[in-house]
Amino acid sequence: MISTNGGGDGKVAVCVTGASGFIASWLVKLLLQRGYTVNATAEMIDPAVKGTLNVLKSCAKYPSVKRMVLTSSVASVVYTGKPVDQDSVADETWLSDPEFCKEHKLWYPLGKTLAEMAAWDFAKENGIDMVTIHPGFVIGNKIYPKFHCWSVDVRDVAEAHIKAFDHENQVSASGRYCLVGSSVPFSQVLGILHKLYPTLPLADKCEEVNSLKLPEFEASREKAEDGLGIKFMPLEESLKDTIECLKEKGYLHF
């Protein structure tokens, strides 16, 4: 979310909420590059706590609710600030330290930790039988059907946000904008990756599943291109930049 106002130095001041997120971090970068004054907020703490408490308050109103199961994360477990080594074993007695999270700007773990702490306090005060689940990085098969890969580069998304509020576009920018740079089968994405990185260990083929028997269809780019002037990045370029970024940060080795 972004909002704007005139800064005291004559520059346009922009407030970007949720600035620690993937899209917003790119938005902040582009804004700063273009001379905007940016006020960035990692607005995920209050919503995390309030959202959890709202559910618990609703449960407390109905005696028929026997147990509340809260899906949390290992993020609220492991950031204790205490020394650990390869022999350390985190268990359910561990609780991330909010002050440690604040000091190191670990906003996601902080939000999860404060939400869980508030939930336990409320549950105990109101006699709610509560269980919390703390999954790690979740992987595995997804049960919903695969469709065309409707994708867009994060830089195009950030650019669209700037175009939407920029004074040159205020007259024309209104309503809703679909941002879909490409719409291709997953098998085509796999083919592009094989072409770009022949040594990358990938499957030879990708099974296309459409269990709902829905027809394949496109997403319009017309309004975004004509109204905001977005020039979508080609899928091949976006995929290449993504893989190179993962290699640079040590997530991929080949």
Local mean pLDDT, 10-residue blocks, the chain (254 residues): 51 71 82 84 73 88 83 90 86 93 88 93 91 77 57 90 70 74 84 92 71 58 86 93 91 86
| Residue 249 annotated in active site | no
Span 45-133 CATH architecture: 3-Layer(aba) Sandwich (3.40)
Which of the following is catalytic: 29, 66, 105, 112? 112
pLDDT in the model for residue 171: 45
Tell if the pTM clears 0.85, that is, is over it.
no
pLDDT in the model for residue 62: 85
DSSP E strands in 155-250: the ranges are 182-184
pLDDT in the model for residue 211: 46
Q: How many CB atoms lie within 10 A of CB 184?
A: 14
Q: For residue 92, with 0-12 CB atoms within 10 Å meaning exposed, 13-18 middle and 19 or more buried, which class applies?
A: exposed
Same fold, 45-133 and 140-254: yes
Kindly state the tokens that stand for 3: 């909002």
Pick the CATH number of 140-254 from 3.40.50.1100, 3.40.50.2300, 3.90.1150.10, 3.40.50.720: 3.40.50.720
pLDDT in the model for residue 7: 47
| Domain residue extents for the chain | 1-43, 45-133, 140-254
Contact, 136 vs 109, CB < 8 A? no
Beta bridge partners of 151: 182
